[in-house]
Amino acid sequence: MHRYGFTVEIENSAIRPFESHTRVTTRDFFALFDVPFIYGGTWEESADSSPTQVVVLSKPTNDKLFSGQNSVGKTIKLNDEPYTVVGVIDTWEPSPKVYDVNNSPFDTVEELFIPFGLHRKLEIHSWGNTNGWDNADPQGYEEFLQSEYLWVQYWVELTTSEQKAQYENFLRAYIQQEKAQGRFERPLKFALSKPSEWLVLNEVLSDDNRILGWVSLAFLLVCIINAVALLLAKFLRKAPEAGVRRALGASRSAIFTQHLIESATIGIIGGVAGIFLAILGLSGIRYLAMGQIDTLPTMDWVMMVAAIGLAIVASLLAGFYPALKISQTNPSIYLKTQ
C-alpha cells in the first residue's frame, strides 16, 4: 500500500471539487488494522489484482458528499473517472498512523481507499516516499515498476511463532534468489518488527516518552506520600471527635470507612479539577502550535475516566493509613480531656 490523491466530485451537486488524500491498498488492510465500517464493506479480493473502479469512503468524506447517508452503490468521480462506493468506514483515528510512519504519521486518516489492482490502469505513483539505489532513469510506467525503486509499504500479520518462522524462511529464500540474480549486494540481513518497535525504529516515538512515563509515576508516588502526611495530620486533629463517637458506640470499621470515603471524595474532586486543567493546557498547546498539531493534544472520554479512576485509587492509597490510624483511637484518652 501507499499514499495517493484524487480530485473528488459528484454530479449534480453544489459541492465543489476538492483534493483528497487516498490510500491505495489491498482489502486485507481493513481487517489487519481493525477498521470499522458503518455502511457496506471492503471490495472483492479480485480487485486487488485486476482494475476495478470501486472506493471506500471515510466517514467525514461521506458526510461531506452524501450528508452521512448510506452511499453504498452510489457513484463519485475521481480525476473525472467514475467509482462505485462499496463501503464507508466509521470514525477511525489511530494516532500515530502506524501503517504509514513516513508521511505525517500524526495527520488524519486518508479520505478515500482504492484497490491496489488499479496501479497499471491509472499508472499510479506514490504521493509518499520513493527511494532507490540505481542511477537508471526509468522510461515509462512499466519500466518504473521493474526498476530498483521502493515505494510500496508492506504489512503482514503473524499470530504465532511458527508463522513468523515460516515468513522469515520465505524472506530469506527470496533475498537469496534475488542475490543470485545480481541484486541485493549487501550481506543478507533483515528483521521483523512489531508495531510498537516500528514506531521507535522510525523515531515516531522515542525513548523520551518512556522516560517521561516513569517520571510521571515517580511524581505520582511523591504526591501520594505527601498526601499521606497531610491526611494523617488532618485526621489526627479530628481524633477527639472520633474518640467521642467510639464511646457512643461507633465501630472501628465505621470510623475507618468514614475517613476512607472522605479521602476518595478528595480524589474525585482532584481528578475533575485535574481534567479541567489538562483541557485548558491542551487548548493552550493547540493555540501556540497554530494548527500544526491539532490531532495530538487531545483527551477523549477513556482518558478522562482513567484520570478520575487513577485519582480515586491514589487517594484511597494515600488515605488508607491515616484512616486506619484514627480508627484505632482509644476513646478513654479523649473522654478524660472533655
Predicted confidence at residue 291, as pLDDT, reads: 59
List the one residue out of 24, 22, 80, 84 whose CA is nearest residue 53: 84
What the block records as the C-alpha cell of 17 is 471539487
DSSP string, 100-118: -SSS-TTSPPPSEEEEGGG
pLDDT of residue 326: 86
**Close Cβ partners of 230 (under 8 Å, ≥ 6 residues apart):** none
Alpha carbons 110 and 24: distance in angstroms, whole number: 10
Q: What is the pLDDT of residue 36?
A: 95
Q: Helical H runs in the chain?
A: 28-32, 59-66, 119-122, 141-145, 161-180, 195-201, 207-237, 239-247, 252-289, 301-327, 331-337
C-alpha cell at 136: 537508471
Q: Can you tell me the distance from the alpha carbon of 148 to that of 131, in angstroms, rounded to the nearest whole number?
A: 8
For position 60, what pLDDT does the model report? 94
The pLDDT of residue 98: 87
DSSP-derived pairing of the beta strands 112-115 and 18-25: parallel
Predicted TM-score (pTM) of this structure: 0.71
Q: Which three-class secondary structure state does DSSP give residue 206?
A: coil
Cα(57)–Cα(89) distance, rounded to whole angstroms? 6
The domains of the chain are located at 2-122, 156-205, 207-337
Q: Is 81 helix (H, G, I), strand (E, B) or coil?
A: strand
Alpha-carbon distance of 50 to 82, in angstroms, equals: 16
Distance, in Å, from the CA atom of 319 to the CA atom of 232, rounded to the nearest integer, reads 8
Helix (H, G, I), strand (E, B) or coil at 76: strand
pLDDT (tens place) for every residue of the chain, 338 residues total? 899 999 999 887 788 899 999 999 999 999 999 999 999 999 999 999 899 999 999 999 999 999 999 999 999 999 999 999 999 999 998 878 888 888 877 788 899 999 999 998 999 988 888 888 777 788 888 888 888 888 888 899 999 999 999 999 999 999 999 888 888 888 888 888 888 888 888 877 766 777 888 898 899 899 889 989 988 888 888 888 888 887 778 888 888 899 899 999 999 999 999 899 988 888 887 777 665 565 666 777 888 898 899 999 999 999 999 888 888 877 777 665 55
Q: How deeply is 127 buried, as exposed, middle or buried, from its count of CB atoms within 10 A (0-12, 13-18, 19+)?
A: middle
What amino acid occupies position 179? Answer: K
User: Strand pairing partners for 81?
Assistant: 78
